[in-house]
Each structure stands twice: as structure tokens, then as C-alpha cells.
Chains A and B, each alone.
Chain A
Amino acid sequence: MKLNLKIWRQKDAKSKGEIVDYPIKGIEGDMSFLEMLDVLNEELINKGEEPVQFDHDCREGICGACSLQINGEPHGPDRLVTTCQLHMRKFNDGDTIVIEPFRATAFPVINDLIVDRTSFDRIQQAGGYISVNTSGNTVDANAIPINKHDADEAMDAATCIGCGACVAACKNASAMLFTSAKVSQFALLPQGQVEAVDRVQNMVRQMDLEGFGNCTNTGACEVECPKGISLENIARMNREYLSATTKG
């Protein structure tokens, strides 16, 4: 198939970026979206031009490195997939595809389609952990029985890959879905109770400091999340936060 690509090019964080047109042909339906970009880059290199730079690593939808706003949607038109698992069979011959980096104040562009998502790391560093030393002197794993339903729900929240699609999808560039997924994982488990009050307060404080917006319950994040992280997590985090404020 033939496609008309419109790709955001930006030399570095300080330079001004622009959309550049790249017509491309010979694309097959079995290619992933990133393999399509590989084809383009090989062409550009052979022509002596600089290839389009983008983040990617595992190419199986789990590392969270790949991003891309494709025709205005994070990770493109398919649901419950990352860009690396989006296949070209979802597009038609002759389509125009606009490819941009994720846009948010807290995700500044580094180069072309690559953004800086270390703000997510800093939110986790503020409290996304249980303070247990890794010395190997903990209690036996089965000494902490956990209701299967809670364990499953904690697992669902924990499957967040930290890609940032929720932020890119949100008109307020809010990181509530990301932050609440971690808060929820621990809120649902007995191990997380000891530090619950500090955790939610510290993580929310850091989230605000990074310049993410607030949640206005549009639900766009849940729709675009490649891992199907539920909006319920945001409600749970709000509950945790309120309860922490009254206790704290």
C-alpha cells in the first residue's frame, strides 16, 4: 500500500519543530507501525537524509517505550495496543497518517518523536514503593493470605506500562490514571496499608509539581490506555487522598 506520512521533525529540545511530508510505498498489512517507520528510515538513510528518531525497545507491547500520537490518537486507531503492536492492516491504501510526539508540558520533546517522560519516574520515586529492605528476612510469602479478587484487581492496576498515553489523550494532560494505578495496586494489598497515607499525598504532590493537569472525568485516558487501566483507579486514589487528608 501507498501512504502519505506527515511526521513531526524537531532537531532538539530547543529547536522549533515542523511537520514534514514523506510519501511511502510498498507497505504490507503484516508490518507493524514501527516496521513501517523502519522502511521509511532505511529509505532516508540511503538517500543521505537523517532518519526519524522515535523511542521503541521491546516491540511486544510491554516495555512502554514506544509512544506516538497517530492521527491525533495515542498509539493510533486500534484499541488495547501500543504503537509497536499496531499493524498496518488497520490502515488503507492512500491514507494520510499524521505522526506526532505525545504532547504535554510535563513531557518535553527531546528529538523528533521522542519525549522526556522522566516526570513519571519522579512520581514513582515520591512514594510508589513499599519500604521493605531486600535483605531476604521477610515473612513467608503465604503468611500474608490475600483475597483472590483483591490480588487480581491489584494485578490489573499494576499492569500499567508507564507509556504516557493517558496524559497524551487527556485534554488537561493529567497523569491521574498513571498515578492512581500505582496507588491502587498498593491500596488493594495488605502490604501497602502501612504507608498508605504518606504514599498518596507524596505521589499526588509530585504529580502536581511536574505540571500535569487535573482530572475532569472525560475518560479519554481509559479509552486510549493500551493496557485497559480502569478509571475506577482514579476514583480509588481520590478516596485514598481524601482519607489521607483527614488522617494526615
Chain B
Amino acid sequence: MGILDSKVPKGPLAAKWTQHKNDINLVNPANKRNIDIIVVGTGLAGGSAAATLAELGYNVKTFCYQDSPRRAHSIAAQGGINAAKNYQGDGDSAYRLFYDTIKGGDYRSREANVYRLAEESANIIDQCVAQGVPFAREYGGMLDNRSFGGVLVSRTFYAKGQTGQQLLLGAYSAMNRQINRGKIQSFNRHEMMDMVLVDGKARGIIARDLVTGKIERHSAHAVVLATGGYGNVFFLSTNAMGSNVMAAWRAHRRGAFFANPCFTQIHPTCIPVSGDHQSKLTLMSESLRNDGRIWVPKRMDDAIAIREGKLKPIQLKEEDRDYYLERRYPAFGNLVPRDVASRAAKERCDAGFGVNKTGEAVYLDFASAIQRYGEEEALTHGIKNADDKEITRLGKKVIEAKYGNLFQMYEKIVDENPYETPMMIYPAVHYTMGGLWVDYNLQTTIEGCYCAGEANFSDHGANRLGASALMQGLADGYFVLPYTIGDYLSKDIRTGAIPTDLPEFDAAETAVQDRLDKLMAGSGQHSVDFYHKKLGKIMWDKCGMARNAKDLQDAIDEISALRADFWANVKIPGKADGMNQELEKAGRVADFLELGELFAKDALTRNESCGGHFREEYQTPEGEALRDDENFKFVSAWEYKGEPKDAVLHKEELKYENIELKTRSYK
């Protein structure tokens, strides 16, 4: 198999994980006390991994750039978490969740990993309830579910529109219990600047204390990266301002292959851009598509009148509206997967039917849901002959209970009341399916360097289904990594503590210091944001929802030139030996300027359309993605060789032994 061995265990799909757990080596409790693990990132994957590893008895050090682990961006996930519990009795099973995820990912993910994820999903819900996560419940006291895109069952568990927050606070509380026991040392306001390899194994990190500016050495027997995605390469995204690729990219430069960088999720329901000052985009949860209907005007003159403010959407008659998702995809309607919904919105707006000033927005309308719920409420409360006003009032109450916080957020940002007039939404960068290549054990191509959650590439193929990111983060952290890392660490029981005065640590620290000096030495022409915005525009225009060979080649050239300009002319005020937020941003943007180029190169190499990767040259006559399984049924894993243009492609062939490859259809 050569350099890329996925290490998928043999045996039937459903037995692989159980068998693997029985076969791998364990570390006895006394030895665990002598083994140190570094976890970088404290979101759902990192927080849950840190807590579990500490419970098992390992000595854990966690690192996050935020002032508290509780602020990791998993907190912003809104809609829910999938689990194959089949509480609704609607035919769900681990196999169906597995199947939906593989299909949703457009057949570009690894079967064995996805099956394990589906298998562990039910455990997550049990675990979180035991931790006191207040999931939504029905009147009988049982857990409630809702539906998400790309599936035909209700398997999504939720806590209002703040599911990510509640799950993260659950993981954070599990971490706190271990911090209180002294098993986790938590380094907040710290950023990983480099990874240290000793004899080819990950043995520590170089970190910068973001308050004092001090460069620190930390050693361990293994390093776990759970540092999230790289959506901010687009500048505007739904990611947090600080979300970055630095830790993963530093590991990549040290030998970890980077897989499928061009697989990015553009989420269909975000609040549209309002102006040049915009610093980030805000998501409106996919759960809204349970009840909201997406439309644009059917006629061009209506669209123009709406854009000019001469016509209001509620004035448009039912027959003058184009519910284009329901029209094009009758089987799934408004609940098609995200990549499909996003492209359909772009198609309508490009054709001139957009509904805001910039022409880049479509409507998400709750009027019919308000009516439907109102009628139902009137019936269940025994209100006979309720008038329209009463029905609307009752319906709005139901919508408020379901999505109140999202509606409030929309109103604060847009200054319009979404109970009265349809929301305006447009696709925005949201999630990155690509990430560090990992084998079945979640180990990267660097021995002892593991990667979990959004930061790895493993489970979502070319498109992630809604409510599956939380599931993957927690499955990796609570239930997968703690087992698989033990197998590796069982060889380290006699190693003893790793000293930090090794020459490898000296060299890595010097390299970090040199890089900081070089950043500070820029000629002082332009701010960091100036470069970040330029990079974002290249990415969005040329590597966004639709890509073609010419644009991608241009993007590669432009990013490469921009990177050279950045290093020569960036302007960073202040000093490196204290708190300096501009310096923090500069380090992150410097890495985005390398990743962006690799991203474009990856997209240019993949001559097919699949999931979120849509190449204009490869589409069906109806404008759907045209996959090429014969030539591209593989994971692209890129090896660092200096400049991104020199990166070397390694392919992991994907084998489908349990699922038949089909053209994805949601019609």
C-alpha cells in the first residue's frame, strides 16, 4: 500500500471497530500516569479528547488561543447533532446514518470511518444526557428530534438553536472536573507555533503565550491536534475571527499530509453581506429549513422592483413566487444537502433573480409554517372558528419557541422583523471537509501526531450533512481517540518524560523566533487585514461555489504573488514581547497564504465535480455535479515540499465494498 496506509481493520463493516478495539494494545493505569499528552484546541473534539484521556489517567496539557476553553468555536453550532437512535421509529439505523453520510459526502469518504461514526453516534447522546446537557424534550419527558438536510428521517437532537454551546459546555465541564483533579493543565491564551519531532515522532510543541509574548516549550509522548477548520482563508466566513489553520499547517510543514484542501462547505442559509466593513458572516441554522420555504420571484420585473424597494415580498402572490428547491428537487424539497441548496441559490441570483440591493440574496419564508402551526395550535387548544389574526398569533408563538434566538439574531443584524417579512439569506463559507490526512486510528502521517474533529479530513467526503460536525467532533474525542492513541502509547511506557532541552526543541524554537522577527521586520506598507481581505476575495471569486481551470490557475499565481508582497510589506505595530493581536493575526494569515494556494492547486487537479467542489467544466445538462469515479475516486493527500506549488500528491484509493456508487439524486 506504500506511503498511505489507511490501516482499516479487516472483517465485515459492522464488526471492524469492535474487533479493532479488542485487538489493540492497552496501557495499564500505573503506566498511564507516566505518559503525557498535548491536546491543541479545546472545542468539541479537543475538549472531549482531553477530558477522556485525563479520566483514563494520562497527564494532559491543553492549549487554546481563547481566554477559556469554553469559547472554542464549536460553541456557535446551532441546529443539532445527529444520532441513529431511532427514537421516532421512522426506520433509522446505524446503517442508514452511514449510508446518508457517504451519499451526502458524494462518495468521497472512507467507509470504515463513517460506519464507526454512525455506530458511536447513539453513545454520544447517552453520554451528553448523563453530563446534564439540556436537550429539547417532548411533553412526555422523552427527547425530541428534528430533521436536517439530505436525509429522510428525524435523527437530529437539539438544544434550541444553541446545540453546539450546550455540547461544548458539557465537554468543558468534563474538562473542568479533570482540571480540578490536576489531571489537565489548561494553557489558555496560548497559540501553537510549531510542532517538535524527535526521531520522526511528534514529541512536543512550541507555543506562544499571547499575553506575555513568551515562547514556551512543551513536551509530550503524543500530540493531538483538534484545531478546527480553515474557512477563514476566505476572510469572510461563519468561523470565529480567530479560527485559523496554523497548528495544522505547522504540522503539515513538518510532514503531516494535508488531504482534500479544496473540499469546502458553503452553507446556504447565512445573512447576506451588507457592506465593505463586514468582518464576518452569520449563519442562520439549517434547522430553519424544516419550516422555512426558499424562494425568489418568478418574474424578472418583480425581482428588479424588489431590489429597487418598490415592491415588498409579502405583496407577491403565491403563483408569482418560484420555490426553486421544491421545483427542482421534489423528493427532498427545501431539505436538500447544503452544497445543492447553495448552488441552486447562486444559480437563481446569477440569473438575475436575487432580492437584496446587491442581488445576492434569496428569501427564506416562514409564512406558511406560521399558518400551519397556528391552525394546529387552535385545534389542540380547542379554539373553534379562530380568525386569521388569532391563527397567526398562535403560529408565531410556535415558531418563536423553536427558533426564537435565531429570529432575534437576524433582527438585530438586519433590522427587519422575520416574523413579518421573509428572511434574506445567501450562501457563505462555513466548514471545511478537508484537513490533515489521518488513518483509521486518527493518526496523521507523523507518528504520534493525531488529528480529530473538523481539523482532519476523514468522515464527510466532499460535503458534510447538517448536524454531523458535532457528532464527529464528539465521537473522535470521547470514543475513538482515547482507544486508538493507547495502542500507540503502549510502546512508550518505558520512555520516561521527554526533556525539552533536546536539540530538536532548540531548533524549533529558533525557527519560531526567526519567523516572528521576519514578520515584525516587514516594510510597513499595509495592515494584516489588507492582505487577508485580498486573499479572501481571490478565494471567493475563483475557488468558491463554482470553479474552473482558468480561474484556479489565476488564483494560484495571484496568491503566490500576494504572499511575496505580504512578507515584504506587511505592517505590524508594537512589539513581539507582549500582547499583540496584529502579530497573532499576521502569523495566521501567513499560513492562509500558503494553504490558499494549495487549495487552488488541489481544486485544479481534481477534474470532476463532487459535493462542494463544483467544476464548471464537469456538470450534467441540468447543472448537477458530474462525478468521475473512474479517475477520481481517491483522497488527495498533499506532501509539503517547500512552496505550495511543489507539493506532491499522494492518492488514497477509496474502496466501496458495502455501498454501490451511484449518481447522487435528491429529485
Contacts and interface: CB of A to CB of B under 8 A. Distances in A.
A77 interface: no
Interface in B177-199: 177, 179-180, 186, 188
Interface in B15-67: 48, 51-52, 55, 66-67
A45 B524 CA distance: 9
B620 interface: no
Interface string B179-222: 11000001010000000000000000000000100000000000
B130 A132 contact: yes
A208 interface: no
Given A57-B66, A134-B55, A136-B479, A128 B176 contact: yes
A183 to B, nearest CB: 12
B578 interface: yes
A42 interface: yes
Contacts of A56: 241
Contacts of B123: 136
A31 B277 contact: yes
B527 A134 contact: no
A121 B176 contact: yes
B663 interface: no
A136 B76 contact: no
B413 interface: yes
A148 interface: yes
A189 B582 CA distance: 44
A38 interface: yes
Interface in A129-149: 129-136, 138-142, 144-148
Interface in B122-171: 123, 125-132, 134-143, 159-160, 162, 165-166, 169
B383 to A, nearest CB: 22
A37 to B, nearest CB: 10
Contacts of A201: none
B68 A120 contact: yes
Given A151-B136, A191-B129, A49 B573 contact: yes
Q: Which among A34, A42, A85, A133 has the greatest number of chain B C-beta atoms within 10 A?
A: A133
Contact of A125 (B67, B136, B143, B180): B180
Contacts, number: 217
Contact of B137 (A51, A59, A120, A146): A146
B86 to A, nearest CB: 11
Contacts of A64: 70-71
A134 B120 contact: no
A38 B66 contact: no
Interface in B418-438: none
A129 B174 contact: yes
Contacts of B85: 141
Given A62-B165, A117-B67, A117-B68, A124 B409 contact: no
Contacts of B136: 151, 155
A114 to B, nearest CB: 7
B68 A146 contact: no
Interface string A158-184: 110110000000000000000000000
B282 to A, nearest CB: 5
A81 interface: yes
Interface string A183-195: 0011001011000
B330 interface: no
A161 B75 CA distance: 9
A139 to B, nearest CB: 7
A248 interface: no
B478 A125 contact: no
B162 A62 contact: yes
A9 to B, nearest CB: 13
B384 interface: no
Contacts of B2: none
A136 B71 contact: no
A229 interface: no
Contacts of A145: 140-142
Contacts of B68: 117-118, 120-121, 162
Contacts of B280: 59-60
A189 B529 contact: no
Interface string A37-68: 01100101110111101011111111111000
A191 B129 CA distance: 8
Given A28-B275, A65-B67, A151-B136, A59 B241 contact: yes
A102 to B, nearest CB: 12
Interface in B237-261: 238, 240-242
Contacts of B75: 58, 62-63
B408 interface: yes
Contacts of A87: 412-413, 415
Given A63-B71, A148-B137, A89 B415 contact: yes
B135 to A, nearest CB: 7
Given A38-B279, A63-B240, A162-B68, A129 B52 contact: no
B548 interface: no
Contact of A51 (B73, B180, B278, B581): B581
Given A45-B573, A62-B76, A63-B76, A139 B581 contact: no
A151 B159 CA distance: 10
Nearest to A136: B123
**What's the interface size class on A, roughly?**
35 or more
A95 interface: no
A46 to B, nearest CB: 7
Contacts of B415: 30, 87, 89
A242 B367 CA distance: 49
B665 interface: no
Nearest to A160: B169
Nearest to A202: B180
Given A65-B67, A87-B413, A185-B134, A128 B129 contact: no
B402 to A, nearest CB: 12
A86 to B, nearest CB: 8
A60 B413 CA distance: 9
A134 B47 CA distance: 12
A44 B514 CA distance: 27
A164 to B, nearest CB: 11
A215 interface: no
Interface string B544-584: 00000000000000000000000000010110001101100
Q: Which among B67, B76, B120, B582 has the greatest number of chain A C-beta atoms within 10 A?
A: B67
Contact of B211 (A48, A81, A110, A121): A110
A30 B278 CA distance: 9
Nearest to A43: B527
Given A63-B76, A189-B134, A28 B277 contact: yes
Contacts of B412: 78, 81, 85, 87
A134 B51 contact: yes
B172 interface: yes
A45 B582 contact: yes
Given A63-B240, A134-B127, A141-B126, A12 B73 contact: no
A35 interface: yes
B173 to A, nearest CB: 4
Contacts of B578: 12, 111
Given A50-B574, A111-B579, A140-B126, 17 more contacts: A31-B275, A45-B527, A45-B573, A48-B573, A51-B573, A60-B280, A64-B70, A80-B408, A85-B409, A85-B413, A117-B68, A121-B69, A133-B55, A136-B479, A141-B125, A154-B132, A191-B131
23 contacts: A30-B415, A31-B277, A45-B582, A59-B240, A59-B241, A60-B76, A63-B240, A111-B579, A124-B176, A128-B176, A129-B176, A131-B177, A132-B130, A132-B131, A134-B131, A138-B126, A140-B126, A141-B128, A142-B143, A152-B137, A158-B134, A159-B160, A162-B70
Interface of B: 48, 51-52, 55, 66-71, 73, 75-76, 85, 87, 120, 123, 125-132, 134-143, 159-160, 162, 165-166, 169, 172-174, 176-177, 179-180, 186, 188, 211, 238, 240-242, 274-275, 277-280, 282-283, 408-409, 412-413, 415, 478-479, 524, 527, 529, 571, 573-574, 578-579, 581-582
